[in-house]
Chain A
Amino acid sequence: MNWVHPTAILLTVLLLAFGQAALPGFREITSVQPDFLPAVMVYVALHAGLPMTTAAALLGGLAFDALSAGPLGLSVVPLIAVGVFLHLRRDLLLRDSAWAQALLGAGAALVTSMGSLILLLGLWPLLSGAAETSGPWPERLGSLTTPPIVGPGLLWQWLVTAAAGAVGTPMVFGFFRWVDTTFQYQPVPKSGYRTDRDREIARGRR
């Protein structure tokens, strides 16, 4: 692997985090903004080492949180958990089948979304900011004083998130395959020619 592959991964992570904030197309159609970072984490976990997986999760999570109202750094945790889990089991997972990629993507997107919410609600007493001023009305509260409202709409959010993960992951795999074939030297096919020395059978005394 040369520098093209890691650079492409990190750039993709940054652009996806930006795209989710700047391009509201999906939100206008489904009322939900799907998260495509887990799809990249699936690819990175299966095709790169643990340092790269960690770097992608850290960069993606921080970029996502910087553009969101949530606590800075919280999104890193589920992304890294998904990445490390898949990386440790990469020998057992199919990575070339589109169906396997879609299933992994849906699962990763769902786990990341659920993990973020569980962390957010679980750690809320530690994460929330204090009120700037006290008064009869709460308009002047800090920017993060009330936890998110969770309702039946969450099921629709998770459905869309899982579907986007299932569709997005094979696309991410295809994109990086294109990057590899376009920007990297391809391995030279092995020649069928064998020298005489290869054919010699090494015999020795016991």
Chain B
Amino acid sequence: MLRKPHLVLLIAVALVVLVLLALPEQTRSRVRMAIASLFLPLFGLASTAQNAVDRAAASAVPRGTLVARIRELEEQNRRFQLEAVEARAAARETDRLRAMAGYAPRSPWKLKPARVIGRDPANWWRGVHVDLGAREGMMTNLPVLTPEGLVGKVAEVGPWTSRVVLVGDPNCPVAAALADSGSTGIVRGVSGGDIEGAIVDLSFLPRSAVVRPGMRVVTSGQGGVFPSGIQVGEVIDSRAVGEGVYLDARVRLSVNLGALDHVWIKVP
């Protein structure tokens, strides 16, 4: 049986929990990020250890392999430089056409690199922690991406770290479109759940939309958070839902969200 002091202790803890659960969302978020920032030295220690392991592994790579890798990267760099020249010419042409049509010129993206320092320990949510916080100008709802495509958005910001909610989490819906046809829908977590987190649903596509496996899915830019044209993934298959009122397509994400180590955050 519980003694009286023990009962008092349990009631006190229950009260603490109730107060925490009843906090307004913003206050709760601040308290959470404050507690999470206590782990910052440990995250730093873990990344230092990881860097040391990486350096040790790199020092064991034979010189011949490194030279071959450098040549491969130089070749890739030359190809990217040519593509950049082509892209700059296309951007100039687009700006000229936009000006002729009376549209405001597109402003270039400002991206900040961030390192993934941790993942959400709960299995219900999909999120990662990155090493940029309010001190580096982070704020909520900033898009997060990699060269392969969309990763998610900044959900909570602490002084030194931020929490990013990943595409496929129920709290990170994305306004998306089929790149070929322009039919729009909403990307969200796959119905029934996907253990690996590599597949999401593109819901609310119009019934008349042409959806074929392999079609590219990109952000539509209509949601106010993600700019248009960021690669989300490729269609696997589709089915009619809501008694045939609209279509749902399963989409395989372009980014391997389970192996993220570096991401880019688009800042205003």
A positions within 8 Å CB-CB of B: 15, 17-18, 20-24, 27-28, 31-33, 35, 50-51, 54, 57-58, 62-74, 76-77, 80, 84, 88, 116-117, 120, 123, 126-127, 129-130, 133, 135-154, 156-157
Pick from B6-14, B54-62, B230-238 the stretch touching chain A.
Answer: B6-14
- Interface pair A142/B190, CB less than 8 Å apart: no
Known: A68-B125, A69-B120, A69-B169. 18 other contacts (CB 8 A): A22-B43, A22-B118, A23-B46, A31-B197, A33-B119, A50-B9, A51-B6, A58-B16, A67-B36, A69-B163, A69-B165, A70-B122, A129-B25, A138-B173, A149-B170, A153-B195, A154-B193, A157-B123
- Interface pair B155/A153, CB less than 8 Å apart: no
Summed over the interface, the residue pairs from A and B with CB atoms below 8 Å come to a total of 187
Cα A88 to Cα B141 in complex, Å, equals 47
- Interface pair A146/B124, CB less than 8 Å apart: no
Given A62-B35, A67-B36, also A72-B196 (CB < 8 A): no
Q: Which residues of A contact B109 (CB under 8 A)?
A: none
**Cβ-defined partner of B13 (8 Å) among A33, A71, A80:** A80
State the Cβ distance, B244 to closest chain A Cβ, in Å.
23
Interface members, chain B 1-44 (any A CB < 8 Å) = 1-2, 6, 9-10, 13, 16-17, 20-23, 25, 28-29, 31-33, 35-36, 38-39, 42-43
Q: Which residues of B contact A68 (CB under 8 A)?
A: 120-122, 125, 127
Cα A71 to Cα B192 in complex, Å, equals 22
State the Cβ distance, B7 to closest chain A Cβ, in Å.
10
- Interface pair A84/B173, CB less than 8 Å apart: no
- Interface pair A139/B258, CB less than 8 Å apart: no
Interface members, chain B 121-153 (any A CB < 8 Å) = 121-125, 127, 129, 140-141, 153
Chain B residues touching A, range: 35 or more
Cα A145 to Cα B174 in complex, Å, equals 14
Interface members, chain B 192-228 (any A CB < 8 Å) = 192-197, 222-226
Q: Which residues of A contact B259 (CB under 8 A)?
A: 28
Q: Which residues of B contact A156 (CB under 8 A)?
A: 195
**Cβ-defined partner of A143 (8 Å) among B6, B155, B196:** B155
Cα A54 to Cα B10 in complex, Å, equals 7
Cα A147 to Cα B222 in complex, Å, equals 24
- Interface pair A74/B35, CB less than 8 Å apart: no
- Interface pair B193/A152, CB less than 8 Å apart: yes
**Cβ-defined partner of A137 (8 Å) among B118, B186, B189, B192:** B186
- Interface pair A76/B13, CB less than 8 Å apart: yes
- Interface pair B170/A67, CB less than 8 Å apart: no
Can you offer 30 A-B residue contacts whose CB atoms are under 8 A?
Answer: A18-B42, A22-B43, A22-B118, A33-B122, A35-B121, A50-B6, A65-B32, A66-B35, A68-B122, A68-B125, A69-B122, A69-B125, A71-B28, A72-B32, A72-B35, A73-B17, A88-B2, A120-B124, A123-B21, A130-B25, A137-B175, A137-B223, A139-B223, A143-B140, A148-B124, A149-B192, A150-B193, A151-B190, A151-B192, A153-B195
